[in-house]
C-alpha cells in the first residue's frame, strides 16, 4: 500500500526511545523527512537519519527551540506526532502523596508540550493540509491503573485532540489520538524506570513482574505491546490512506480495555 508519505516533513517528540524512536524509524523508511526531538539525543535516534534536536519539552522554551529549528530546517511541516510524556520520573503513589510539583511537571510534559507544539505547528499544518497524532494512554480510560496526575493529563490530551480535530478540520488538518496500553519500553523494562519502581513497591523481581502483567491486567492477547506496533498505527493515521479519519481515539492495548 502506498501511504503517500514520501517527501513529507514531520516532527516527532519524545523521539529518543520507545514509541517515538519506532515512529521516527518508520517514517524515515517511508521517505519522510523527520525532526526527532528529545531531552537527550540517544545514539539510536542519531542513527535514524532524522534531524535531531535536544530540548526539554516540558518547558515553553524547549518547545519553541524545537519548532523554530524544524520550521527553519524544512521550511514548513506536514506532520506532527506529540509523543513525549512522563515515564521514568513518575512515582507509583496515590493522590494524597502526589505533590503540586509532580502535578505541574506531569501536566507540562504530557499536556502542555502538545499544546505548545501544536500551536506552533498549526499554521504550517493548515497551509499544507497536514495531520497530527497525539499519543495518549488507556490510563485516560482506566484511571485507577496509574498515577492520578498521569491519568488526568492523558485524559486532557485526548480531549484536546477532539477539540483540535473539530476546530481545524475545516482548514484541512486531521487530528487523531492513539491510546496504547502497556508497551515494552525502558519505562517498564528497566529497573530504574517506572516499571522497576512498581515492581519494587510490590516486592517483586522486575522480570517476573513483567511476565505476570498480561495475566494481572487481563490482556486478551496475553502479551505486552511492542513499540513498532504502535508506530505502525501512528504512521497509518498520518498517511493519505487515512485521509477521512479525524477526531478519533484509537486504543491499541491487546484487549486490556473491555468496554467501548
- What phi, psi does 162 have (nearest 5°)? -60, -45
Give the integer Cα–Cα distance in Å for 127 and 171.
8
Give the integer Cα–Cα distance in Å for 248 and 176.
5
Nearest to 33 by CA among 55, 69, 5: 5
Pair 148, 103: CB distance under 8 Å: no
* CA atoms lying within 13 Å on the CB side of residue 184: 14
Long-range contacts of 185-191, Cβ-Cβ distance < 8 Å, separation of 24 or more: 185/17, 185/18, 185/19, 185/87, 185/227, 186/17, 186/18, 186/87, 186/88, 187/18, 187/87, 187/88, 188/224, 190/88
Q: List, in sequence order, every residue forming a beta bridge with 251; answer none if it has no partner.
A: 179
Active site residue 150: yes
Task: Select which of 45, 63, 148, 150 is catalytic.
Answer: 150
Give the integer Cα–Cα distance in Å for 37 and 57.
8
Sheet of 51-54: strand order equals: 51-54, 33-38, 9-13, 79-82, 131-135, 174-180, 249-252
Which residues are the active-site residues? 150
Amino acid at each position: 500500500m502506498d501511504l503517500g508519505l514520501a517527501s513529507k516533513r514531520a516532527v516527532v517528540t519524545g523521539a529518543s526511545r520507545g514509541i517515538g524512536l519506532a515512529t521516527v524509524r518508520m517514517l524515515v523508511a517511508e521517505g519522510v523527512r523527520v525532526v526527532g526531538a528529545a531531552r537527550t539525543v540517544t545514539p539510536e535516534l542519531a542513527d535514524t537519519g532524522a534531524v535531531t534536536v535536544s530540548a526539554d519539552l516540558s518547558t515553553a522554551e524547549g518547545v519553541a527551540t524545537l519548532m523554530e529549528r524544524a520550521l527553519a530546517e524544512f521550511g514548513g511541516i506536514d506532520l506532527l506526532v506529540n509523543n513525549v510524556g512522563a515515564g521514568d520520573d513518575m512515582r507509583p503513589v496515590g493522590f494524597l502523596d502526589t505533590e503540586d510539583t509532580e502535578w505541574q511537571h506531569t501536566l507540562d510534559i504530557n499536556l502542555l508540550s502538545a499544546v505548545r507544539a501544536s500551536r506552533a505547528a498549526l499554521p504550517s499544518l493548515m497551509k499544507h493540509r497536514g495531520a497530527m497524532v497525539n499519543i495518549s494512554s488507556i490510563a485516560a480510560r482506566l484511571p485507577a491503573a496509574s498515577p492520578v496526575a498521569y491519568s488526568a493529563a492523558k485524559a486532557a490530551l485526548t480531549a484536546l485532540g477532539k477539540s483540535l480535530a473539530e476546530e481545524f478540520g475545516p482548514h484541512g488538518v486531521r487530528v487523531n489520538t492513539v491510546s496504547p496500553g502497556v508497551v515494552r519500553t525502558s519505562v517498564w523494562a528497566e529497573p530504574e524506570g517506572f516499571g522497576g519502581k512498581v515492581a519494587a513497591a510490590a516486592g517483586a523481581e522486575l522480570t517476573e513482574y513483567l511476565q505476570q502483567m498480561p495475566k494481572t491486567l487481563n490482556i486478551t492477547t496475553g502479551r505486552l505491546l511492542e513499540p513498532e506496533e504502535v508506530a505502525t498505527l501512528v504512521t497509518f493515521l498520518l498517511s493519505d490512506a487515512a485521509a477521512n479519519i479525524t477526531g478519533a481515539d484509537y486504543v491499541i492495548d491487546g484487549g486490556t480495555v473491555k468496554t467501548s
